[in-house]
Structure formats: C-alpha cells, structure tokens
Structure 1
C-alpha cells in the first residue's frame, strides 16, 4: 500500500496545538526562512564581475568585427576581402590554414554568445521569478519568455536573440576565403583573406546580443548571480517568493503533482527524462536534427546521381576518397549564384541559415540537459564525505562536469564541421569576390551526421539514466529543493535527522548525517500518521 494513502496533513489552524516535544521540526524549518541580510544566501558578486568581464570581451570582439568590416567595405566594396596571411610552399595546396582560422573564429563566437547568454539567462530567471513562473533553475533560455512584448526578456526579444544567434554562426562561416593576387606577368600569390560584409554582420549580431543582455539585467532585480540552484532557492525563500511545503522531505520532483505525506526511500530515483518536461522535447529535437542531417546527405547523393549538371566533375563517393575536409577527390554537388552583387549576399545568408539554423538551435537546447544534470549532480554531493557546497563558480561548474565540457567543445567543433559540409566559395581575385558558388560535400555531411548521432546518444543516455540512492532527485526544481532542504549552510549534508511517533524525518545539516533507513516512512518530525507503509 502506498505510504501516502489514508494520510491527511493537519490543517494550518491546528499547528499551534502540537505538543512542545514536536517543535523541533518547526524550528529547523524556520532557519530557512528567518535569515536576514545578504549573508543568508550568496549573491555571487564575484560571478557578476566575471559575467560583466565576459560581456565586455564580447563587446570588444563585436566592435573589432564591425570596425574591420567597415574598413574592408569602404576600401574594397561590399564584395571585398582583405588578405591576412600569404600561403607558401606546401600550404598553397592545403586547406589547413583556412580550417584553423574558421575553427578559431567559431570558438570566439561560442565564447561571446556563451558570455552574453549567461547574463541573459540570469535576467530571464529573475524575470520569471518575479512573475511567479520560475519552476527550475535551468530553463530553455531562448524558448522561455517573461511577460510583455517590450520586456528584454519577453517573447519578441527572445525571438530576436534566436535570429541573432543563428546569424552569428552563419556569418562566421562566410568570413574566410582564399584571395588570388595577380601580378602583371600572370602569376599569382595565394592569401588567406577575410570578407568585410560577413564580418560586419557578425559584429552587429554579437553587439545586439550584448545590448539585449544588458537591457535584461537593467529591467529586473537580480537576487543572486549564482548559477547554483541552492543559492537561487535560498534567495527566493528569503524574499518570500517561494514557500517550503512541510511533510515532503522524501518526495522527489516527479512526486510534485501527487499527494503529500509519508514516503519510503527508494533505491533509485526518476530520470531527467521523466522529471523535467522540457528534457523530452530537447532529446526528441536532437534526434530530429540527426534524421534531417541524414536526409540531407541522402538528398545530396540522389541529386549527384540524377542531375549531372550539379556534379562539377566530382568523382563518385567511395570509402577510399572519404576524408574530414575537402580534397580533389571529394564527392559533392554545387550551384552558382547568378551574380556577386550585394543583393546576393542576402540569398547566400538565407541558404546557409536555413540549413545551419536547426543545428544552432539543437546545440542551444542541449544546454538544458547539461545544466539540469549538473544541478542534480551538485545536489547528490550532499551524501558524500565532503558534502554539498552551495556556492559554485560557473567556470568551475563547466570545467569539472564532463557533459558541460563536452557541450562547450562540441558547439564550435560541430559548427566547424558544418562549414566543411556546406561551403560558400569560389575565391577572390585581387581583393574582390567573384560569383558565389555553393557546394555541399557528401562525405563531410555524413561526418557531421555521425558526430550529431554520437552527441544525441550521449545526451539521450544521461537524460534516461536514473540516479542511485535514496536521496530524492530534484534536477534543480526549486520547490522540491525548498522542501527537502530544511537547514541552510554554505556546506550541507543530507540524511536521517530523527524519528517520529509514526514517521522519520530526513533533511540537511551543516555536519554529516547518518544514512536514511530503507523501508521506513519519512515525512517530518511533526507528522502524526495512520498510514500503513508497504
């Protein structure tokens, strides 16, 4: 029989009639709500400093891109490029300099968008809390909005942020080209060059993201800059935006919609897939992107076979010609744009954004899985020897959590791999781009598909994995954390705290606690229950 069946919590008016011997639970619970001053929770002003340094870095990079792009456009025109490095010797026949520069550029874009994204996420989290709509510490930043169209954290500006994020990665894919500098005798020197217009648009996209992020933090009061769900929960409890619910000390996030009351500890906890509704959508979307990439590869192979005019004399696809990047034996299809005028840049951007946009959104949505798993891992430290440290540095959280490291490295790498698959080029002559040619490389598309497949498998596995142990799973769910944490301290341990007439009590403390008792009912030391536990 369920532990909560036939159990009814006492009504609020009867609380004053409880015997004095049962007042310990109330005194413990009061420690989580009676704190005053900024020392009650960590406002993480150091994290704010790091975040603003990241925003300043993004501003500098965006201004450099805008200035350089304007100079190139003024000197060379809208289709102009400027040389960066001359290729000599074996480098003339290698794509390595181009690919290294593209990878570095994608890494810079990732750092800038992550920096502004962190600030935007903090302001969105505070906006949702002020609207009483914040449920989890981690949310889909660009797909969750506050109230009001003019709100920097509202639907309109979130939509703009999505477009700007796609433009950032799309522009970075169009910046690097080869430039042939011809001499009077007909010979030429080869240079790695950058195009002015895509660089200018990249700078504008990065700068507008900075502006929206700064507007967001100015539009709302931010109680804490910490990315820790514990600092956020403590802040919300302190500001009475979140109220702990008694008698739910052994209830996980998946039990939030059920009846309260006694519960026996479970050997395993629900997975993130079951506990967080958005996790399921993200995992499904990841697999949709994998399927779309496979369909793209099959489509290119079909067009190469059925439409000879798109082959550009490329050889058939074979395992012997398979490679990571383009070479003279690569299989591909391609087509030319009618002209090289500025108006055709728009069409090139649309072509690229339509294909690259789903990849950008999939990687953005994957942040939800990584951060939710990170939040749960932090909570489960409460049963370890060292205990749970509530305050965390966001850089440390990323660098010490494998899935966060994987995602941070994967973002620029997969965008770089996309750039190997979808190539816009035909080079520039004497600093001016010619007609745009768009090539889709078959082997490189399948390489991207394989990489996406591996990523989707990894994230599906962690989303379906069930944590072991009786500690209730929270996955950063704020109400659940408020319910299971009854004593706040910088370092906390979770475990058995006392026996009651009918049920035991589990909670947190500033010193190590004994393990909870399997098979015993837990609800809180105030509980008087007639429940039978099976």
Structure 2
C-alpha cells in the first residue's frame, strides 16, 4: 500500500469531483446520496460579501474607465484662476502657469481643495483600492483553493494566488493568473499616477527684456489663501479602471463557474471551515484511526510524548524559505535603486543638498520639503501641453511598481499561513476554543500578521508614489525611496520571524494543512460550533497511554511526561 501523509495512515485518496458528478447523475439523487461540494458547510454570508466586493470592483472599474476616457477624449481645459500667474508643484513637477487662456496640462484635470484634503485623498484612494482588491482576491483564492484540493496538488488553506495554477479550472489557470497579475499591477500603478498634490509656491510673470520675454519669479509675494489643489491624470484613471476590469472579469468567471459546477465547498476561508467541508464530503479517506499530524513518518509508532515547542513554518512548509529569500531580493532591488538615485543626485544633477531644495521654495524648507525633494532626479518623457503621451508614464510606473507588489504578494501568503495556524491553536489556548463558523474577516482583523500585511499593502504603494512617479517626467527622490527600503527591511524581518517562529505548547502545528486538520479533529467535533483540543483521558486499548484530541467542551492540558496517541515526533 502507498504511504499516507500521517503515521499509521497507509493511504489517502483525493476527492474525484468528476467521478462523483457522474455517479450522482446516474443515481439521480445527488442531494441525498452524496453531498455536493457547495451544499455542505456553505457560508452564505461570506459568499454574499464576496459578491458585494465584486459589485464594488465592477463599479469602481467602470467609474474609473469612463472618467479616464472622458478626461482624455474631451481635450484640454483652461487653467483655473487659482493657478493663473503662479508657479506650482503638480506632484513633484514644477509648472509655471500664465494668466492667458493657455490650457491646463493635457489629459489632466485640477480642483482646488484644502491642504489636508490634498494629502488625504491619495491615501484614501489607496485604502479603497486595497479593500476592493482584498474582496476580489478572496473570490480568486477561494476558487483556487478548492480547485487545487480537488486535483490533489495542494492541501493548504492559503496559497500563492497568482503564482499557483489549477489544471482544471480556467479562471485559476496560468493564462488567467497572468492576466490577473497584469491587472493588479495596472491598478496599483494607475492609482499612483492618478492623483497629484498641487501647491502654489511663487508668482510668475513674463517681462520683456532686450526684445525677449523673460520669466520672473517672486517667491516672497503674498500668494493668497487658495494655494492647494489636487490634480487627476486621465491615463492613471484609465489604468486603474482597466486593471480592476480585468480582475473583476476573472472573478466573475470564477463565480459563474462555481454556480454551474458548485466546486467550492465553503466560501468561508477559515481553515477549520475548509477542513469541515472536506470531511463532510469525504474528500480524504483514511484506513487507520485518527488523529495524525503532517510532519510524522508512517514508520514511527503512533505514541509520543508532548513537546513544548512545535515545528516552525519553514520546517513544515519548505516553500516559505524560498519566499523569504525572494522578499530579501526585493529589498535588494530597492536598496540599489535608492543608492543609484543618491549617487546621481550628487554627481550629475546636484540635487542632493539642502541648498538645492531651498531654491524651490521661498522659505527655509522644512522636513516634508527636504524629504520629498532631496536628491530628486528628473528625466522628461512627454510634453506638458501637447500630445497624448502620458500612457508612457503609466507603463513605466507599472515596471517600477511590479517588484514590490511581487514582494507584498509573497508576504501576504506568510501572513495567511500564520493566521491559519492562530485559528487552529485557539482550540487549545483560547477561552472560547476555535470555531469553524467564525468569519475570516474577523479572524484577519484579530491576527496581527494579517494587520501588518494590510498596512504594508496600503502604505508602501502610497510612499512609493513620492519616491518614483511619472508625471511628464520620470521623477525619483532619495528619501521616499529610502523610506520604502526601510519599510521593506521591516517586511523582510517580519517574514523571517514568521517562518522561524516555533509555536508554544504541545498542540501539533498545521499552518492550514487541511489534511492535518481533518485528521486531528475528531469527527463528532465538526457537529459543534466550538472545538477544543487537549487531554481526553486514558487510551482504553493500551495501558499508560493517553489520548490527545478534540471535544465540544474545554479539555485539560496535556501531561508533558505521559505518552499520547494523537501526537507525533
């Protein structure tokens, strides 16, 4: 017989979804004879939340697309009065506007706002994008999870959504994953170049001198109360809309396919809910008594002494070692970029000095000005008032933003594995045990690694928008890039901690391995809202051996010097 994944378990058989469908059709009694994947353990609230997120994705996509197309197609508009005869920074780009009927920057629109709104609006847009992306990610990752489980190719509750493909599910195959990856990059790049802060810094006037018109700047003049605005780039909105449209289309495909084939056992991504759904449809069949653990060898006896520490993530999920290395590779990329920008700012453009920053402002620059403009490099790729050329900037921004999105996607997997482990360990350490019914949204908020990942996915793209942005010029600044580097260093340390940490206590670690959870939880425990893990008393068949397992009521702690069935070395 073939060797199974647990000690004493000689074989396991992945669920054959197609074979079951044929059998159910022949028997004409699928609902009563064998539960369809999707009828048991279905979390309708989570599914409905996914549908709401999908609606938001479509709404945001169509709104951004239509606005972007209108902005580009309607042509230039007049320069607003608060910018007339003024020098203003549009993002990091300095632009002089005259009081004549010259148009505003082509493919852009500008609106006067307060200083606080100028700073907060881009951040709020980034938060909104992160939320909508999380909803779309949930749909895509849920259907991928069940496709991989059916194929017997991955048994973890959390997977690398864009770097793992199904062989049988079209919306989770490699072509769809590549399209979804492009859509993700396009959406984030579009958000970065979609809005820019506008700040008036000087009066501007053209004066005749020696038969020529010479520019005159007055940084000491009274600029009035209306000095701030926000600029919207039509190509950025078009990029955001296109990116969300691609992702929403693939997620709609996922939902339609599930409606037709009913391949998702539960939309609740709680690992216990996934394991319960697998148990109820008999996805894994074992030939020997449970429970078992994934790190064991079948040649070992099923009795073991409890251990004070459990294996780390890098021990049970070896792929996480490679993931951590890739994250450090992203750190190296942005470290090199920040160093190159500093060296070029010093050697070529002479922008890496306080004096260079002071020349841009009428007053002595404070910390925000020094942080944004110290070591700034500028390379022009488009003309401000002629030609629809900002699409080049969008593509350049996509290339620049791709490495850290890749790094954040990898970090998201580690956060998900840590969250899955925390949910399972609550069965022994939590006052209320663990619950398959709990919402993953709530569990994610309670999981500090997941909160760290969400904050990183929101702040790093926002900060990067100050470090490298395309707005007529490719503009890079040293301190924002250094900030991104420091944040990714923190992410790297965070990743190393997650994969090296050894959970405390004798409860076997699983990191969301669905086979392990199905094996470790007693069958009768799935019928209850709460699951507790601990000492279940003496084992009847062997003297001196005790049982570690689950129940619907609080269990006692394991005796660290006793032998147990249900543990493995």
Question: TM over 0.5, yes or no?
Answer: yes
How many residues in Structure 1 have an aligned counterpart in Structure 2?
Answer: 478
Distance 1:71 1:240 in 2: 54
Q: CA deviation at 1:449?
A: 1.0
Give 1:461's aligned residue.
497
Give 2:396's aligned residue.
351
1:288-307 counterparts in 2 under 5 A?
A: 288-307=329-348
Q: Deviations over 1:12-52 (max 9, x none)?
A: 9xxxxxxxxxxxxxxxxxxxxx9979999531111111111
Give 1:440's aligned residue.
476
Distance 1:334 1:206 in 2: 30
1:55-94 counterparts in 2 under 5 A?
A: 55-76=54-75, 79-86=106-113, 91=115
1:388–1:491 contact (8 Å) kept in structure 2? yes
Give 1:116's aligned residue.
136
Distance 1:325 1:184 in 2: 21
From the superposition, tell whether residues 102 and 264 of structure 1 become closer, same or farther in structure 2 (CA, over 3 Å): same
Q: CA deviation at 1:120?
A: 0.7
Structure 1, unaligned runs of 5 or more = 1-7, 13-33, 426-435, 526-532
Distance 2:152 2:371 in 1: 56
Aligned alpha-carbon RMSD (Å) = 3.5
Give 1:474's aligned residue.
510
Distance 1:474 1:102 in 2: 40
Distance 1:40 1:112 in 2: 27
Q: CA deviation at 1:153?
A: 0.6
Distance 1:313 1:379 in 2: 54
Distance 2:39 2:546 in 1: 28
Q: Deviations over 1:281-303 (max 9, x none)?
A: 22222221112211111111222
Match of 2:534 among 495, 512, 515: 495
Give 2:249's aligned residue.
211
Q: Deviations over 1:143-165 (max 9, x none)?
A: 111015x8111011101111111
2:130–2:458 contact (8 Å) kept in structure 1? yes
Distance 1:179 1:409 in 2: 26
Q: CA deviation at 1:101?
A: 2.0
Distance 2:184 2:249 in 1: 13
Give 1:176's aligned residue.
195
2:351–2:374 contact (8 Å) kept in structure 1? no
Distance 1:357 1:147 in 2: 26
Structure 2, unaligned runs of 5 or more = 1-6, 12-32, 77-104, 207-222, 359-363
| Structure 1 position 193 matched with structure 2 position 237 | no
Give 2:274's aligned residue.
232
1:151-162 counterparts in 2 under 5 A?
A: 151-162=170-181
1:423-438 counterparts in 2 under 5 A?
A: 423-425=469-471, 436-438=472-474
Q: CA deviation at 1:494?
A: 1.1
2:533–2:551 contact (8 Å) kept in structure 1? yes
Distance 1:325 1:228 in 2: 46
In the superposition, the TM-score normalised over structure 1's length comes to: 0.80
1:392-411 counterparts in 2 under 5 A?
A: 392-411=438-457
Give 2:462's aligned residue.
416
From the superposition, tell whether residues 244 and 345 of structure 1 become closer, same or farther in structure 2 (CA, over 3 Å): farther
* Residue range with higher mean Cα deviation, 191-200 or 159-168: 191-200
In the superposition, the TM-score normalised over structure 2's length comes to: 0.76
Higher normalized contact order (CA 8 Å, seq sep 6+, divided by chain length): 1
SS of equivalent residue, structure 2 residue 469: strand
From the superposition, tell whether residues 70 and 260 of structure 1 become closer, same or farther in structure 2 (CA, over 3 Å): farther
| Structure 1 position 381 matched with structure 2 position 426 | yes
Give 2:85's aligned residue.
none
Distance 2:339 2:298 in 1: 45
1:248–1:261 contact (8 Å) kept in structure 2? no
From the superposition, tell whether residues 102 and 178 of structure 1 become closer, same or farther in structure 2 (CA, over 3 Å): closer
Match of 2:564 among 522, 525, 532: 522
Give 1:433's aligned residue.
none
1:317–1:442 contact (8 Å) kept in structure 2? no
From the superposition, tell whether residues 288 and 323 of structure 1 become closer, same or farther in structure 2 (CA, over 3 Å): farther
Q: CA deviation at 1:311?
A: 4.3
Give 1:261's aligned residue.
302
1:86-105 counterparts in 2 under 5 A?
A: 86=113, 91=115, 97-105=117-125
